[in-house]
Chain A
């Protein structure tokens, strides 16, 4: 009895301790408590293949100054296919990301972002900056770096004058969630919403291989916190408070960068010059080096309006998670919701880049188990969209970002459950096939472990 009591007290106090945690860099990660595993498409088959790798974040441990996030780097949304002859698949990264609990501003020389992971989304997926490792070598008058091209002078981390922008260049290789792998490391360079949700759709990949992405843009609500950069500062989606103090309603965050009006590039190819790739998987492809082909085609113009971001693509402002304000980056999009340079973080960091991927968790740490936290189920904040309603052959149920699995049950007029589905944590969409159902009024019950909300659905064929 005494021992049990002790255990109980220990449990309560430990729970209380973890409850007490309120630092978003500890609490915001999507910890996979339900065994969700990854899925991927291969070219030519619209049925995804289930993988034996857990999705999202596996565990979160913290010390006095650091948080350690263990993640596979695999999202709960379906990855692939990568239609630009990229032979890589999204593979388990077994990563441990070490990030500072108290990020600090870099007051010295700014640090440029670099190739590879520069931040982590809350589902453990890597963030890369604008670059794809291809640049212009003026000595050889040719593209360098990347598959098929000769290496750039000085190797992959050396600075080049003209660096290719991955977003237009690799468009054909992004999956529906706007991401792709590099040597197995699946990553987003940009706003991680599905292509087909953009107001003007610039890729048709979702038609054959639908996936949902990490979150859905809601123009009427502050975007969710979707990740952290390697300097420890948070990354938000595309919409936020108009004013730095949280007032003024919701507006689209605007990049401070715009294309220069140039026709030639110093020590680089002319604007509009055509380059034919001579080697590798894309041999014979003609690259038209229009304005926007290289990231140096953009220039930063400071704008004092609070919705315009600084040269790192962020600002200091109040956010829902940081009511007293924080520096934050935003995944910028244009008015059509297409990704806008510099896309997320960069081309320089605001803070001191002390975070990284590490091999071990060092020193004494405490585990943070988000399943012990109180889950506030707030149907309103889910922004659930049920479409089409009335529906015929299917209904799509979409939320803007899910921190926990959401169970969906379609109930007929007799009270029988006729169809069940789940929107997975870290994804946003479930499509329920209703082609077998007769016309009538149905109820859609939406629930997590604790709460239920019911919506009316009409099937009218």
Chain B
């Protein structure tokens, strides 16, 4: 069952297409330079890949790696620190962040109301051409809740479908995954939606304490949202600050690089100590979470209409 109540949405094609236009339109940023898709590119699992920290207007650099967007209706919270707890409100964060789009919902609504194209699209969706903040956020929600990835090789293996035949190595990798990773990266979403300290050293420049910045509780220090591992092959760099460029580096971290401190996740107190062959098999399994039908689905790509 999705966490988000999908009955709140019209599920209409018009609203979906409106949301898609908004998602790909730099009109959401103050200087028309950044769209949602600037950091959330479809072919890389709706995240950026060629830099660690997100980029905003006027060349500004954010404090965190962008998150991959998929299966969001099942998310109980958003952002690395869970600072947003409702999907309809999530877009407010990047729109108003000075380091991202540097705008405001009010400014966006004014610009959309001045656009004949958007007046028409809003009318088609809501039978009212007046653009409001609520409708803008709803349309964006309608688009992003449709970004669902469920046709990876792993999914086909679980469903016993054609194309889901696992090799011995993939089966072995899955077993290693279940024994060592699945308590946090829980199937089938490959996240348990919780916040954990996964033993990364504190970056002395970013000084990012994660969840504690939201809750002000010391027990949340250095805790970050457990991200999904779906399409992980295409979403480097990894971790909240993009510090690891390869999955091999991520596994090396869990194998032997954990920094111990008081809030460290219970399950990480012992190193994984995987052998070389186990590491390779695990990496091979992680590639089975790649869903090319999702990454190349034309319905989610840049809208070439208008």
- Report if A44-B301 is in contact (Cβ < 8 Å); known contacts: A435-B287, A436-B169, A461-B248: yes
Flag whether B216 is at the interface (Cβ < 8 A).
Answer: no
Question: Is A437 in contact with B280, judged by CB distance below 8 angstroms?
Answer: yes
B binding-site residues for A, Cβ under 8 Å: 43, 167, 169, 248, 276-277, 279-280, 283-284, 287, 292, 296, 298, 301
For B167, B280, B284, B296, the residue with the greatest tally of chain A CB atoms inside 10 Å of its CB is: B280
Contacts of B292 in A (CB 8 A): 47
CB distance from A395 to the nearest CB of B (A): 16
Neighbour of B276 across the interface among A208, A392, A436, A438, CB < 8 A: A438
Contacts of A45 in B (CB 8 A): 296
Q: In the docked arrangement, what's the CA distance between A437 and B277, Å?
A: 9
Question: Is A438 in contact with B280, judged by CB distance below 8 angstroms?
Answer: yes
Neighbour of B284 across the interface among A44, A47, A436, A439, CB < 8 A: A436
CB distance from B245 to the nearest CB of A (A): 12
Query: Across the two chains, which residue of chain A brings its CB closest to B279?
Result: A461
Contacts of A439 in B (CB 8 A): 276
Q: In the docked arrangement, what's the CA distance between A335 and B169, Å?
A: 47
Question: Is B280 in contact with A461, judged by CB distance below 8 angstroms?
Answer: yes
Q: In the docked arrangement, what's the CA distance between A436 and B288, Å?
A: 12
Q: Size of chain A's interface in residues, with CB distance under 8 A?
A: 12
Contacts of A46 in B (CB 8 A): 43
Question: Is A392 in contact with B248, judged by CB distance below 8 angstroms?
Answer: yes
Contacts of B276 in A (CB 8 A): 438-439, 461
Query: Across the two chains, which residue of chain B brings its CB closest to A207?
Result: B50
Q: In the docked arrangement, what's the CA distance between A461 and B280, Å?
A: 9
Question: Is B284 in contact with A435, judged by CB distance below 8 angstroms?
Answer: yes
Q: In the docked arrangement, what's the CA distance between A338 and B292, Å?
A: 34
Question: Is A436 in contact with B280, judged by CB distance below 8 angstroms?
Answer: yes
CB distance from A266 to the nearest CB of B (A): 40
Closest 5 CB pairs of A and B: A45-B296, A436-B284, A438-B277, A438-B280, A44-B301
A-B contact list, 16 entries, CB within 8 Å: A44-B43, A45-B296, A46-B43, A392-B248, A435-B280, A435-B283, A435-B284, A435-B287, A436-B169, A436-B284, A437-B280, A438-B276, A439-B276, A461-B276, A461-B279, A461-B280
Contacts of A435 in B (CB 8 A): 280, 283-284, 287
Contacts of A44 in B (CB 8 A): 43, 296, 298, 301
Contacts of B284 in A (CB 8 A): 435-436
Q: Mark A414-441, 1 if CB is under 8 A from B, else 0.
A: 0000000000000000000001111100
